[in-house]
Structure 1
Amino acid sequence: MTDYSRRAVLLMGSAAVLAGCTAVPRGAPHRREVLAGADDFEPGEAPPFTLVEVRRETLPELRNWPMTGFRPPTGWPAAGNGPTAPRIQPGDVLDLRIWDSETVSLFTADGERAIAMPGLRVSPSGHIFVPYIDEVHVAGLTTDTARRRIQEQLEAVISSVQVQLVLASGLRNSVDMVSGVANPGNFRFEEMNTSILGMISAAGGVPEGLPNPYVTLMRGGQVYGISLSEIYGNPARDIALRGRDRVIIESDKRHFIALGAAGSQQVVRFDQQEISALKAVSIMGGIDDARADPRGLLILRRYDRGQYGNPGQPATERVIFSFNLTNADGLFSADEFQIHSGDVVLATQAVATSTERVLRLFGSTLGFGARVSDIGGSSN
């Protein structure tokens, strides 16, 4: 068989294989294969999915579409300092010691100079009972201010009296470190303005084996959330805790699925508050420059019932977002498009890659080079 004949056989065989369903192994589908069937539906039926080309023009509308997948609490309180000393609150327990230098005292027995009155619980109305002066309102005061108030009222009865006051305990001046630390429990403020990182440290820190820690803060009927890495990276996020705060630290449950002609194919957990499509490509090892189609980055997303079919919402339950990473608009748009938990990020395979594999297959079979340039070479 002449070289010309061999080239003809190769061209005809290659065309036949490329025209049909080839058995050439590959790690990802082509873009056109994934999008096939977009128009395959009967009149009156909803299309099987919606294809959205993500560009500068479409981004504003897409930002208003509903969030999908698992959604942890978001938002974070603004940084700000409170009082530097704990404030006495209803339910707190105070230890009171009264000193009296008088020989005959209303408080102390013979030979004693002080009497201890531990375990004085602040009433719901904010008072404690002290003998001879009845109830004293202490809620909202620092321990030093409350001590002076009690002493001033006692001095009207015993001029030489002195008062010592200690805030022993109280839920309203403590924080619950619920989970995600080495030593969870209730931690009382030694002083106010204790930051969340300071309290995490007091609780033994976050175990190294906890992947992508996410912090949930429950405060006054509100629930806030942020990734721990963002607190580490931004001092303004290291806010001062308040009494009765509850802190829960657990692994961020959000994830996306990386598939196709990329550096890795796996379930990828979120490692920060927001992940763009471009960041997702980077996390999954980039698209394979030898196999991937940079015009065919696809993100597959499913919307819940009630999140599609209405004005300002996706038209269908299933939506495929398409990105062209070969131009500036596509790259910028991918960097502004946010990944949702549960998204599938698919790097499709370039058609030219499959073509080259077919040519190599036939070239190997016929015993000559597999390069495309060989086909167009001159005959002898």
Structure 2
Amino acid sequence: MTLLSACALPRSGPSKNEIYSGAVEKGGNAHVIYVNDHVTRTANFAPSYGFSSSFQRAGQVGADEIRPGDVLGLSIWENVDDGLLTSLGNSSTNLQEIQVDSGGYIFVPYAGRIMAAGNTPEQLRNIITDRLSAQTPDPQVTVARVAGDGATVSVMGKVNGQGVFPIERPTRSLSAMLARAGGVSVEPEVAVVTVKRGNEMGKVWLTDLYAGQNDIALRPGDIILVEEDQRSFTALGALGGQTRVPLGNEMINAVEAIAMVGGLNSNLADPTGVFVLRDEPEAVASRVLGKQVYGTQRMAYVLDLTRPNGLFLARDFLIRDGDSVYVTEAPYVRWQKVLQAITGSAASADSLATIGN
């Protein structure tokens, strides 16, 4: 009875043999794979962030180009005492806050409906001048953009100043617009910047962006989202700590992952039973197994740190987002628990007998 109850003794998780019993070869649904040089070469890949070629090819927005939604200010001088738009005694008139409609047009008295979108202020000035020249001698026109609501981007998330910002000459690139929004409010090393443009989306590490990589030109309507990276792995079993560990923006190997939670528990851990559990994509699993498999595969990678090159293999094996690093207890620990349970039960019985007497 005591030996049977010992099987239910407290422990940090399954034993090596219990994990092996779930292998595909034994009717289970997980591939149990010892890590070697072939495995480290085929299983190691780090999903990288970056923008597609369509993002990178997009040219900078012309800061002077008029767009639907812009608000313009016009000033018109006429070379007569009593002109079309000027009152008696005045030589000029100001038409302020003329908004470019959704079709890109504006209306100017005596010049009619004019396509403003797509033109620079200088080009629009020439168009209006030509229209008015037929009705008043030698008109002089100035065009200025009062607001740039038509060429804007939205910046949100972990920034110090969320909002809708116009694309202006100093803020035509992603890094410049983030600076315009006050910079990020999280540590730069864990900040991820996502840009949504129509049906496309791309993301980049902030540190890569400021290093000069992927600093794309912005387009009207872009949505910029800054988030703190959520990638992590879970540490379980006979380790110095059992917790969820953020990965940050670095590539972490198995040795570093173990060290990040305090290393192996020297009183409990079996260094031959370090497991990395993950759901492996079809393409990677096929390369690791050396045969074609279909669909995502459950993989249990085994790292035996006692082998001559065990630590080197662990150092070369990369940890990915969603991995579980599990370390089994040494067989000695299990026997020790059984013995403690047996001797503890005997001591309790003796105590009860003493009390009875």
Q: What's the TM-score, normalizing by structure 1?
A: 0.67
Q: Distance in 2 between matches of 1:160 and 1:39?
A: 86
Q: Distance in 2 between matches of 1:247 and 1:128?
A: 30
**Counterpart pick for 1:320 among 278, 300, 315:** 300
**Counterpart pick for 1:53 among 34, 52, 59:** 34
- In structure 1, runs of 5+ residues without a counterpart are 1-16, 362-380
**Counterpart pick for 1:116 among 87, 94, 97:** 94
Q: Distance in 2 between matches of 1:179 and 1:86?
A: 29
Deviation at 1:221, TM superposition (A): 1.7
Q: 1:251 to 1:109 in 2, by over 3 A?
A: same
Deviation at 1:245, TM superposition (A): 0.6
Q: 1:126 to 1:330 in 2, by over 3 A?
A: farther
Query: When you count helix as a share of all residues, which structure comes out higher?
Result: 2
Q: Distance in 2 between matches of 1:135 and 1:274?
A: 59
Residues 253-278 of structure 1 show CA distances to partners (whole Å, capped at 9, x for unaligned) of 33221123444321112312765545
**Counterpart pick for 2:137 among 136, 151, 158:** 158
**Equivalent residue, structure 1, for 2:235:** 258
- In structure 2, runs of 5+ residues without a counterpart are 341-357
Count of matched residue positions in the alignment of Structure 1 and Structure 2 = 330
Residues 8-45 of structure 1 show CA distances to partners (whole Å, capped at 9, x for unaligned) of xxxxxxxxx9xx8697x98676644543454795xxxx
Q: Distance in 1 between matches of 2:97 and 2:155?
A: 25
1:35 and 2:20 equivalent?
A: yes
1:269 and 2:240 equivalent?
A: no
Q: Distance in 1 between matches of 2:95 and 2:35?
A: 71
Deviation at 1:248, TM superposition (A): 1.6
1:168 alignment partner AA: A
Q: Which moved more, 1:54-63 or 1:127-136?
A: 54-63
Deviation at 1:348, TM superposition (A): 3.8
Deviation at 1:246, TM superposition (A): 0.5
Alignment of 1:124-203 (within 5 A): 124-155=102-133, 157-171=136-150, 173-191=151-169, 193-203=171-181
Alignment of 1:1-380 (within 5 A): 31-32=16-17, 34-38=19-23, 46-58=27-39, 62=43, 75-76=50-51, 77-78=55-56, 82-83=60-61, 85-155=63-133, 157-171=136-150, 173-191=151-169, 193-208=171-186, 212-232=190-210, 234-272=211-249, 275-277=252-254, 279-287=256-264, 292-302=269-279, 312-313=292-293, 318-325=298-305, 331=312, 335=316, 337-341=318-322, 343-349=323-329, 354=333
**Equivalent residue, structure 2, for 1:10:** none
Larger RCO (CA under 8 A, 6+ residues apart): 1
Let me know the Cα RMSD of the aligned residues: 4.5
Q: 1:117 to 1:340 in 2, by over 3 A?
A: same
Q: 1:335 to 1:115 in 2, by over 3 A?
A: farther
Secondary structure in 2 aligned to 1:236?
coil
Residues 111-138 of structure 1 show CA distances to partners (whole Å, capped at 9, x for unaligned) of 3333222333334443322233333333
Secondary structure in 2 aligned to 1:235?
coil
Kept in 2, the 8 Å contact 1:49–1:316? The answer is no
2:167 alignment partner AA: F
Residues 294-316 of structure 1 show CA distances to partners (whole Å, capped at 9, x for unaligned) of 543311124799x999x844688
Q: Determine what percentage of the aligned residue pairs are the same residue.
A: 28
Q: Distance in 1 between matches of 2:197 and 2:34?
A: 42
